[in-house]
Amino acid sequence: MYSKVLICFLIVSQSVSAQYFRWAKSMGSNNVDVSRFVAVDGSGNVYTTGYFQNTADFDPGLGTSFLSSQGGNDIYISKLDANGNFVWARRIGGWGDDYGLALTLDNSGNVFVTGSFQGTNVDFDPGPGFFPLTAPNGGGGPTSDAFVLKLDGSGVFQWARRLGGNADDQSFGITLDNQGNVLTTGYFQWTADFDPGAGTNNLTSAGSDDIFVSKLNGLGNFVWARRIGGTNQDRGYALATDASTNIVVTGYFQGTVDFDPGIGTANLSSAGQSDIFNVKLNDLGNYSWSVRAGAAGWDIGYGVKIDASGNVINVGSFQNTVDFDPSPLTTFNLSSAGSDDAYIWKLDPAGLINWTVKFGSTGSDIAYKIDADASGNYYTSGCFQGTVDFDPGNAVIALTSAGGYDVFISKLSSASSFQWARKVGGFGDDIGRSICVDPSENVYITGPYEATVDFDPGSPVFPLTAVNAWGNPSDAFVLKLCQCNLTCSVVPQNTICSGTTLSLSAAGANTYTWNPLGLNTASISVSPATSIVYTVVATSTNGCVGDQTISIVVRPTPTIQLTPNPASVCAQQISGITATGASNYTWSLGNSTVSVLQVAPMVSTIYSVVGTNSTGCTSTSSVMIYVNPAPTVNISGATGLCTGQSGVLIANGANTYTWNTASTSNSIAISPTVTSTYSVIGLAVNGCSSTAVQVVTVAATLGVAISGPSVMCVGQSQTLIANGASTYTWNSGSNNSSITISPSVTTTYTLIGASGSCSNIAVKTISVFTNPTLSISSPTTSICDGKTITLSANGANTYTWNTGFNTASISISPSLSTSYTVSGANSAGCLGTAVRNITVYPVPSLTVVNLAGAVCEGNTITLVASGAANYTWTGGISNGFPFNPTVSTTYSVTGASTQNCTNTAAIQVTVYPAPVLTITPSKPFVCAGDSIVLTASGAQSYTWTGGIFNGAAFQPTVSASYSVSGTSTAGCQNLLPSVFNVSVNPLPTLSVAATSTGVCKGNTVAVSATGANSYTFSGNISNGVPFGPPSTQVYTVTGSTNAGCIKHDSVKITVFYLPNP
């Protein structure tokens, strides 16, 4: 292996700079507020201009600085210090729409702003003074004029100038040359006066919009103005100057345009809707050169920068396939991926192409502004949609927008090499309209944003939220990023073998953090196992945070495989070890470099090799060659025989055997007639061998025997007894005269008996029978108390149960859970046992409750059974649910436990009948004022409505229904209602009158009655019939209605007697 040291420097060769968040500020109201341009002075103060609506707070800190627009949109100019703290803000505007679209600074910190305004007497002095400018009305509504405004570094008014005529005139770009002259560009319509002083310098457009370039001196006085345009729409969007005060203007044009504002002609013709142009004028406004690029779509130049070498860098957007090489002889085509792609186009001082790059997605992507640092790097800002690769080279550096448009910031080298790209954005539209770089290479971006946006393009979060009150408002943002340059080099190189330890070092900053390790020292030691990227995050003393990635390529060490053949040997046997996985090898034994090593170890030995692969990485592998032990061979059996006797010699300790008798069995039968020597070579399974020797002496014959059983069951123990000799040797190794045996299979036992030098052999074979495997079967292992079940034994010939029965099957009816055991014997008399556990579940003990007792007919009753899990009732009723019995009945319930054991209980329910009532009236009807008696029968007691009592007279006043409830002796009430309707008939309205209540004797009078249906008169008179009363009398009349109701009335007739003559 080899070791390397990697050192990372902050400012060395091959630096890669990246932007890091310093601060972000938001300014605005609850309506649309847009920042269009940003610039920074030598002290790091940041100036922006744009436009706003309503009342906006321009202090992004804890304080407030409110400005209120007078019209639709008003101009604002803001100044923040280097830390983003509020310094001042100024408003310019009248009743119309006024826009601040660009600004620039001079070396004294004076601020120059350009844009457009509408209306009369617009005060351009943001202080207490008054400096009105008026944009004339063209007659078709409000029109705009261009303006140039100068403030000092404290925001105090210096001067303001108007450029324009009676139509729409707007200024989009402003810059200063090295003489302090103020140059602006934009477009104008019709005839416009570009001398803001007492003089006149009219320019007249050839089409709807023509490009203008205006030059004022530092006091705002007219120097010159130039027009460029054709018969269509042509606009200048930005301009820049070089050290020789040459001017380059960019924008777009349509149709054919002469770009020589002088007497010469320099026509360019657009290929589509609009083409990009770059035109160069000298300090007198005279034509130098012009170039175009465009295709069938809209192609627009938005920003331009001239670097220290006089190269022109132009940015904007294009559609379709565009040739950016101005030369008619060559082409440099770029094709957009979406509706608009952003481009960066670099031309040399003569207008020849240097290079062009583009980036874009399937959406719309636009580059608005560009700036350059002292090293010639180019910084671009704009907006993009979707996923865009910002590396114009072969690598892919993709950023993805979070919403509609996101802000992008890109840095390329002077040769168009990718340096870095960052994006900020949320779910709305967020646009980077302007960018600038200060001498310390801090980067400033401004523009509008919507909703909530994280303005830290790194891993921390710094959210700002635009005030939302009118649907899709935007606020202005200012973002400051710093740059740190980190360079990493590897000594000697950044490619290592796995297992190598590296020292990574950083220098040039204040603090460091190494990721993914999280270490915070300037130098760290690492030993990566695989290729890895380390990132060092360095913070300088001024707070700028930079990072650098360090790629370490880890080459694998070889994986050495050692294959022994064979892996195990006998002592001094040769084995070959083959090494694979590397290019060359060095063995620990004798420094051999062969790939196959031959060894012959005496004992087990470890052999090691160092393998080196083609990359120079090494690894070590080891293998053990095992030396197998030789078998320990011995011979057992006869050591002495009697004359004429045969014996057995048994070899042990090896796998196979070869006797000097040529036999290859592990045992041989011998019948020596004289003392003889026997030898055997034993070969183990590992292939190793050894030899054993046995001397057998021959002497007189012995009668050796074994007594004991010949048959046993598995698991039994018995004793074998040796007879017929003085000493004994069993094949089990025992030297006792008896041994205890417990064989599990049929086994042969060999006994060698010896007396003196004579020995003999006895052999006994014990037959071992297995015990029967018994089982007990039954329909189930659980029953209910009182039930019967059959147990059946299997697996033997005879059976004995612990219940005393000797049959294969028994019937049982246990009252408790019980274990049943059966012993069974097979034909050999060997025994087996089986057990069956029977679980006995109790039947439920039922309790039945009548919650209501005896019940009256028509009432409900609830029967509740308990003591079981579920219940089934006769009579179609449910347990615990009310029902309405009609007659006395006995109800039965069957309760089942959770084990489905059942029991039955019954309960008698008595139902008393409801009384049936009969109402008897004392009369069929009643006349007013009469009484009636209602008498109910059929029950014991009665309750009437209407406050009457059973059998008692009462006097109803009106016809009414009377109901009665009756209660029997059992307390039951009638089910059907008993009602009697009493009709109260009115009495007649009887009126009795006489024709005279006094008459003379002998005269007649008539009594008449009305108001009834029939009448009965006392005195035998008739209704209305005259009669002669015999004397003074009271005549009574009884009037009767048709219903039979009567009323009496009377009249007194006085009879006067005539005097006697």
Task: Indicate if 590 and 653 belong to the same structural domain.
Answer: no
Task: Indicate if 832 and 940 belong to the same structural domain.
Answer: no
User: What percent of the residues of the chain are helix, what percent strand, and what percent coil, each to the nearest 5?
Assistant: 0, 55, 45
Could you give the dihedral angle defined by the CA atoms of residues 204, 206, 211 and 212, in that order, rounded to the nearest 10 degrees? -20
pLDDT given for residue 226 in this prediction: 99
Contact predicate 587/611, CB 8 Å: no
* Residue with the two structure tokens 């002083």: 197
Contact predicate 915/970, CB 8 Å: no
Contact predicate 276/250, CB 8 Å: yes
Looking at the DSSP assignment, which residues form a beta bridge with residue 263?
A: none
Task: Point out the residues of the chain with pLDDT beneath 70.
Answer: 1-19, 139-140, 468-472, 485-493, 541-546, 590-591, 699-700, 756-757, 1059-1061
Beta-carbon contacts of residue 361 (< 8 Å; ≥ 6 apart):
337, 338, 384, 385, 386, 387, 388
Q: How far is CA 290 from CA 247, 326, 395, 559, 928, in A?
A: 11, 9, 34, 67, 129
119-132 exposure pattern, b = at least 16 Cβ within 10 A, e = fewer: beebbbbbeeeebe
Domain stop point among 735, 769, 803: 769
Looking at the DSSP assignment, which residues form a beta bridge with residue 803?
A: none
Q: Residue 603 sits in a domain of what CATH number? A: 2.60.40.10
Question: If phi over 0 gives left and psi between -120 and 50 gives alpha, with beta otherwise, what is residue 520?
Answer: alpha
Q: How far is CA 245 from CA 61, 283, 400, 533, 934, in A?
A: 40, 5, 40, 48, 133
Contact predicate 725/700, CB 8 Å: no
Question: If phi over 0 gives left and psi between -120 and 50 gives alpha, with beta otherwise, what is residue 3?
Answer: beta
Q: What is the DSSP string of 680-749?
A: EEEE-TTS-EEEEEEEEEEES----EEES-SEEETT--EEEEEESSSEEEETTS--SSEEEE--SS-EEE
Contact predicate 650/637, CB 8 Å: yes
How many domains, in total, are found in the chain? Answer: 9
Task: Indicate if 235 and 281 belong to the same structural domain.
Answer: yes
Task: Indicate if 823 and 878 belong to the same structural domain.
Answer: no
pLDDT given for residue 11 in this prediction: 30
Domain boundaries, position 932: 918-985
**CB-based burial of residue 678 (10 Å sphere; 0-12 exposed, 13-18 middle, 19+ buried)?**
buried
Q: How far apart are the first and last CA of the chain?
A: 188
Task: Indicate if 196 and 336 belong to the same structural domain.
Answer: yes
**CB-based burial of residue 161 (10 Å sphere; 0-12 exposed, 13-18 middle, 19+ buried)?**
buried
The 3-state secondary structure of 152-172 reads: CCCCCEEEEEEEEECCCCEEE
Task: Indicate if 328 and 215 belong to the same structural domain.
Answer: yes
| Listed residue (272, 199, 211) closest to 237, CA to CA | 211
Alpha-carbon distance 473 to 27, whole Å? 12
For 876-944, where are the E strands, in sequence order? 889-896, 902-909, 911-912, 918-921, 926-927, 932-937, 941-944
**416: in domain:** yes
Alpha-carbon distance 121 to 162, whole Å? 12
**968: in domain:** yes
pTM summary value: 0.55
Alpha-carbon distance 974 to 977, whole Å? 7
Handedness of CA 506, 511, 515, 518 (dihedral sign): positive
Peptide bond preceding 1026 in cis form (omega within 30 of 0): no
Task: Indicate if 947 and 834 belong to the same structural domain.
Answer: no
Determine phi and psi for 807, rounding to 5 degrees: -95, 165
Q: Residue 973 sits in a domain of what CATH number? A: 2.60.40
**CB-based burial of residue 624 (10 Å sphere; 0-12 exposed, 13-18 middle, 19+ buried)?**
middle
**885: in domain:** yes
Handedness of CA 996, 998, 1000, 1003 (dihedral sign): positive
Domain stop point among 769, 785, 804: 769
pLDDT given for residue 140 in this prediction: 66
283-303 exposure pattern, b = at least 16 Cβ within 10 A, e = fewer: bebebbbbbbbbbebbbbbbb
pLDDT given for residue 469 in this prediction: 45
- Strand 926-927 relative to strand 984-985: parallel, antiparallel, unpaired? parallel
Structure tokens at 945: 């409505």
Alpha-carbon distance 311 to 416, whole Å? 13
**24: in domain:** no
Alpha-carbon distance 751 to 439, whole Å? 112
**79: in domain:** no
Task: Indicate if 254 and 301 belong to the same structural domain.
Answer: yes
Task: Indicate if 205 and 308 belong to the same structural domain.
Answer: yes
Alpha-carbon distance 498 to 617, whole Å? 8
**475: in domain:** no
Long-range contacts of 951-954 (CB under 8 A, 24+ apart): 953/922
Determine phi and psi for 875, rounding to 5 degrees: 80, 10
Domain stop point among 555, 587, 606: 555
Task: Indicate if 349 and 323 belong to the same structural domain.
Answer: yes
Residue 1020, helix vs strand vs coil: helix
Alpha-carbon distance 717 to 738, whole Å? 13
Q: What tens digit of pLDDT does each residue of 731-766 get?
A: 989 999 899 999 988 999 998 988 766 778 989 899
pLDDT given for residue 473 in this prediction: 80
181-206 exposure pattern, b = at least 16 Cβ within 10 A, e = fewer: bbbbbbbbbbebbbbbeeeebebebb
* Residue with the two structure tokens 């994006």: 423
| Listed residue (106, 96, 89) closest to 74, CA to CA | 96
Task: Indicate if 859 and 897 belong to the same structural domain.
Answer: yes
**42: in domain:** no
Alpha-carbon distance 788 to 126, whole Å? 113
**203: in domain:** yes
pLDDT given for residue 808 in this prediction: 87
pLDDT given for residue 703 in this prediction: 81
H helix runs in 495-586, sequence order: none
Structure tokens at 427: 């779910």
pLDDT given for residue 543 in this prediction: 64
Task: Indicate if 137 and 151 belong to the same structural domain.
Answer: yes
